[in-house]
Amino acid sequence: MKDFLFSVSTCAFQIEGARSLGGRSQSIWDEFTKRNFVIPPIGKASREINSIEVAADFYHKYKTDARIMHKLGLNAFVYNMDWTRIYPKDENYVNPEGIKFYIDFFEEFNKKNIKPIPVLFHWDTPLWAEIRGGFQNKEIQNWFRNYARTCFKHLGKYTDVWFVSDENSTFSRDAYLSDYLPPQKVGKWNFVNAIHNLNMIAAVTKEEFELAKKEGYISKEAIIGVDHDWSPPIAFSEDIEDTKACERYNEWNLELYLSPSIKGVYPKVFFEYIKKNNLNFVIDNLDLEYLKKNKLDLIGWNYYRPVFIAHSVKKYKDEDWHIPPQYDEELDIYYVFPKKQKYTKWNWLINPDRIITGSQELCKIYGASTPLMILENGMGDFDNKSEEMIIDNDRINYLSIHLQKVLEAKKLGINFIGYSLWTYCDIYSPSGGYRKDYGLVSVDFNSTIRERKPKLSYAWYKKVIENKGNEVFFDIDTLKKELKIILDEWDLFFK
């Protein structure tokens, strides 16, 4: 990897569609969206749970999307893959149509000099696996082994950067400590069991990764990592108790989800949690040795926002907050939302300040030589699509200040190998359905062909890539002229 990777990221169940085509069966997300279908009023910043049967139809439009990304100038594309498409029936049957789709897709992107960066798992467990226990069943380690082995064998020649899983913290907390995400198996025992099996599939995958290298399926220089959605903490005040609250937060929200895969060890808070809650859960010493033996190479980091933390909110008033503080009973801390900060229309904090210091912390804990990559960074919004040009200036402002910090960190010696923004095109969002726009490219979800159209942010990223990140800020008139040229060239092969 000689060049810095300028990439975009997306996810199969959010973009791919064709959920009942090509030999594919159902996953926990198919079942969840059908059972919990809800459409709030138009324009309301609340959760929409909609059909993912077609989504943005990447399954049929990947060649169009490859042209669009090639025109953008990307040299990489992060894609959270669909386990169910490749293994739709059980752990043994490989769906020929499923693996062929990914071979064709990867080949197409390679022709355009765009490196596919696969993420093997992002929350979308096959329904057949969930029926048999899912991440509560230790056998999932063997089921995932077969899946990883198949991917390495057939897709290994197309890329030298891989990730096992994405956002394990959100998945484990919101699916096993709450019912926000499928499989909605709420319980503390389920939670710790899911965490351990997620860490074990990482180790299993690393073992298969090294075997695939020996067999010649993957290059000797290839690396594989885990992607974590760490929101770095900021002490709300200079009170030493707020600093201690941040330390408790990091033990639980950083080290618990990275240390088992990168260091090969669990932090003590995990065992303390098991003991405190009297959980009948014991980790075998063989598992602990296996984790140490099969450590991953690379850290992916989803940076959307930091989080302000206070140990108490008693001395503050309601008018101090943008939205009310949220109390974390387990850690005895408050997540607070200072009124003076900037927020998106979805009440997400806009603050890039912890990218540099956060990456320095990651280097201190996991080693300065460990490669880092921003795998997700983006802004959900309500884009105005009624005019000829989609002027998403707020998104450009957000992306510019964040990418600038990443490139500054790289200049300071942080081993950032790439930046991948979220996301390529408008997709289904687990937190906002189709009303939450994230893409550089608009998708007309009322069109049967899911027609694509570039936004002003597409023109922005194109110029950033052209100058290799040496300039990330451009005046709006320059970008509008660039977008006008792009739109004039946007023929039927880009739609």
What tens digit of pLDDT does each residue of 17-55 get? 999 999 999 999 999 999 999 999 988 999 999 999 999
pLDDT value of residue 372: 98
State which residues form the domain around 85. 5-494
Q: Is residue 381 within 8 Å of 345, Cβ to Cβ?
A: yes
d(Cα 108, Cα 104) in Å, to the nearest integer? 6
Residue 437 is given by DSSP the state B
Give me the DSSP letters along 458-472.
HHHHHHHHHTTTS--
Q: Is residue 227 within 8 Å of 163, Cβ to Cβ?
A: yes
Closest CA to 116 of 80, 148, 166: 80
The mean pLDDT of the chain is 97
* 3-state SS string for 139-183: CHHHHHHHHHHHHHHHHHHHCCEEEEEECHHHHHHHHHCCCCCCC
Q: Which residues contact 131 (CB under 8 A, 6 or more apart)?
A: none
pLDDT value of residue 43: 87
Token pair belonging to 86:
């490749």
pLDDT value of residue 458: 98
pLDDT tens for each residue of the chain, 495 residues long: 578 999 999 999 999 999 999 999 999 999 999 999 999 998 899 999 999 999 999 999 999 999 999 999 999 999 999 999 999 999 999 999 999 999 999 999 999 999 999 999 999 999 999 999 999 999 999 999 999 999 999 999 999 999 999 999 999 999 999 999 999 999 999 999 999 999 999 999 999 999 999 999 999 999 999 999 999 999 999 999 999 999 999 999 999 999 999 999 999 999 999 999 999 999 999 999 999 999 999 999 999 999 999 999 999 999 999 999 999 999 999 999 999 999 999 999 999 999 999 999 999 999 999 999 999 999 999 999 999 999 999 999 999 999 999 999 999 999 999 999 999 999 999 999 999 999 999 999 999 999 999 999 999 999 999 999 999 999 999 999 999 999 999 999 999
d(Cα 435, Cα 429) in Å, to the nearest integer? 8
pLDDT tens per residue, range 148-173: 999 999 999 999 999 999 999 999 99
Phi, psi of 7, rounded to the nearest 5 degrees: -135, 170
d(Cα 59, Cα 447) in Å, to the nearest integer? 16
Query: Which helix (DSSP H) or strand (DSSP E) does residue 83 occupy?
Result: helix 83-86
Query: Which helix (DSSP H) or strand (DSSP E) does residue 257 occupy?
Result: helix 256-262
Helix (H, G, I), strand (E, B) or coil at 276: helix
* Domain count along the chain: 1
Alpha-helical runs (H) found in 73-95: 83-86
d(Cα 225, Cα 245) in Å, to the nearest integer? 29
The CATH number of the domain holding residue 153 is 3.20.20.80
Which residue in the block uniquely carries the two structure tokens 């062929």? Answer: 100
